[in-house]
Chain A
Amino acid sequence: DSGVTQTPKHLITATGQRVTLRCSPRSGDLSVYWYQQSLDQGLQFLIQYYNGEERAKGNILERFSAQQFPDLHSELNLSSLELGDSALYFCASSSRTGLNEKLFFGSGTQLSVL
């Protein structure tokens, strides 16, 4: 167990809907990353937060947004869902950034858009 908790584990929804994925980092970790994993694209970096502030943005669609709260948990909001958004969404946390940073991953949320 990495200490990173993601809920829910599975989510089935319809096109056009909006969902929220939640991530609780390891105790004391200030950095939270969101990744999307799909069969054809592999692991795609979406967004990073550090101590409540956005630090880096990757291939995140405008329909997607995220935030990190004062208690350091993070939420990824996906709206106007499309079939192509079906994927495994991972959250990772780390206690330090820069050299020798080590990411600890959650078990992911499997999103199925029907």
Chain B
Amino acid sequence: AQRVTQPEKLLSVFKGAPVELKCNYSYSGSPELFWYVQYSRQRLQLLLRHISRESIKGFTADLNKGETSFHLKKPFAQEEDSAMYYCALKRPGNTPLVFGKGTRLSVIA
């Protein structure tokens, strides 16, 4: 069965510092990987997906199949980035998203 691991429950960084939220997955096939974000008092929402190879709000994530990782990175953290971040995996086809346990990012001014 597929599994998503986010090793850090809480990550605190200073404003302007680089940030990397780690995500590792276990799945033998070709998954789709996503990052979802939940800001304070807001709904969970899609941040980015690996298939789009996009940068959203300065965040990027590269799928590394060799290391089975999909780490989320941003070169300069902002206070408004403080939120709960979830990595998620989807197997091909009509299958549900499987989420990691989440990492709470706290950006300190």
Contacts and interface: CB of A to CB of B under 8 A. Distances in A.
Interface stretch (A8-16, A63-71, A76-84, A95-103): A95-103
Interface string B75-109: 00000000000100010111111111110000000
B98 to A, nearest CB: 6
Contacts of A50: 94
A43 B32 contact: no
Nearest to A41: B101
A42 B99 contact: yes
Interface residues of A, number: 28
Interface in A90-114: 90, 92, 97-108
B43 interface: yes
B46 A45 contact: no
